[in-house]
């Protein structure tokens, strides 16, 4: 949102945001104040359209990869009184090895430590989050009604967010739509007394 000259450490020579690889390579040069200003500008642009955000999120988990960046997001969530998406849920201990593997083979202890730190940050700032974040459904080979029905059957009490990317024009996104709209899925939700909600329930 901000002009490139106001956020020079976030952009390349053409004024475009740095990609993931460049961010990681130059993370020590990124100005956190510029990052916070850009995050704030994006929130305010959304609000200027007459809309109120339901929560804060980030594309491709960029802010989770750096504690300083994540802290900036948490501070803004607290300021705007918004809940946040956090992939580190109450089932962190059980899921840490799997998450570490999916992230490229990081030690599970590193993922566990990072997750606990981020959970604590949210708690200290009074920022709410879902109890757990379910990622399995959105993986290749898992976008089936049978897989989603199994998730529903074993869903614990509390608030769970299901990672999904339904859409048109791309086969795997279309596959997710068809699974989500499968009548058996709705029947299972009703039979289990599971309510479909969004982040507004956390505000």
Residues 164-175: pLDDT tens digits? 999 999 999 999
Answer whether residue 177 shows pLDDT above 70.
Answer: yes
- Location of structure tokens 């945001």: 17
In a domain, 203, yes or no: yes
End-to-end CA distance of the chain: 26
Answer whether residue 104 shows pLDDT above 80.
Answer: no
Give how many domains the chain has, as a whole number: 1
**Most distant CA atoms of the chain, gap in Å:** 56
* Side-chain-side CA neighbours of residue 136 (13 Å): 15
Q: Which of 57, 51, 105 is nearest to 82 (CA)?
A: 57
In a domain, 173, yes or no: yes
Q: Is 199:83 a contact under the CB 8 Å cutoff?
A: yes
In a domain, 184, yes or no: yes
Q: Which of 67, 58, 64, 46 is nearest to 17 (CA)?
A: 58
Query: pLDDT tens-digit profile of 105-155?
Result: 778 888 889 999 999 999 999 999 999 999 888 888 889 999 999 999 999
- Give me the domain span that covers residue 178: 131-203
**% of the chain surpassing 70 pLDDT:** 99
In a domain, 56, yes or no: no
In a domain, 183, yes or no: yes
In a domain, 199, yes or no: yes
In a domain, 20, yes or no: no
Q: Which of 172, 149, 80, 67 is nearest to 114 (CA)?
A: 67
Query: pLDDT tens-digit profile of 7-31?
Result: 999 999 999 999 888 988 888 899 9
In a domain, 201, yes or no: yes
Q: What is the pLDDT of residue 60?
A: 65
């Amino acid at each position: 949102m901000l002009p490139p000259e106001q956020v020079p450490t976030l952009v390349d020579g053409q004024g475009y945001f740095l990609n993931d690889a460049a961010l990681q390579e130059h993370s020590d040069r990124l100005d956190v104040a510029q990052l916070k200003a850009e995050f704030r500008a994006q929130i305010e642009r959304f609000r200027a359209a007459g809309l109120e955000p339901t929560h804060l999120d980030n594309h491709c988990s960029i802010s989770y990869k750096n504690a300083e960046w994540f802290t900036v997001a948490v501070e803004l969530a607290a300021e705007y009184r918004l809940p946040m998406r956090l992939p580190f849920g109450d089932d962190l201990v059980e899921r840490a090895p799997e998450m570490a593997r999916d992230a490229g083979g990081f030690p599970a202890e590193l993922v566990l430590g990072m997750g606990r730190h981020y959970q604590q940050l949210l708690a200290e700032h009074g920022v709410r989050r879902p109890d757990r974040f379910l990622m399995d459904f959105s993986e290749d080979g898992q976008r089936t009604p049978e897989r989603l029905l199994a998730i529903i059957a074993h869903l614990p009490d509390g608030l769970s967010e299901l990672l999904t990317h339904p859409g048109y024009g791309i086969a795997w996104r279309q596959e997710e739509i068809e699974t989500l709209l499968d009548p058996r899925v709705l029947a299972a939700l009703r039979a289990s007394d599971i309510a479909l909600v969004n982040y507004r329930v956390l505000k």
